[in-house]
Chains A and B, each alone.
Chain A
Amino acid sequence: SQQGEEDPQALSIQEGENATMNCSYKTSINNLQWYRQNSGRGLVHLILIRSNEREKHSGRLRVTLDTSKKSSSLLITASRAADTASYFCATDPNSGGYQKVTFGIGTKLQVIP
Chain B
Amino acid sequence: DAGITQSPRHKVTETGTPVTLRCHQTENHRYMYWYRQDPGHGLRLIHYSYGVKDTDKGEVSDGYSVSRSKTEDFLLTLESATSSQTSVYFCAISEGSNGRQETQYFGPGTRLLVL
Contacts and interface: CB of A to CB of B under 8 A. Distances in A.
Contacts, number: 54
B42 A41 contact: no
A43 B1 CA distance: 9
Would you call the interface of chain A mostly helix, strand, loop, or mixed?
strand
A95 to B, nearest CB: 13
A106 B58 CA distance: 19
Interface residues of A, number: 23
B77 interface: no
A25 interface: no
Contacts of A103: 35, 42-43
Interface of A: 2, 30-31, 33, 35, 40-45, 48, 88, 90, 92, 98, 100-106
* A-B residue pairs, 4 tightest by C-beta: A42-B106, A105-B42, A103-B43, A43-B106
Interface of B: 1, 35, 40-43, 45, 48, 50, 58-59, 90, 92, 94, 99-109
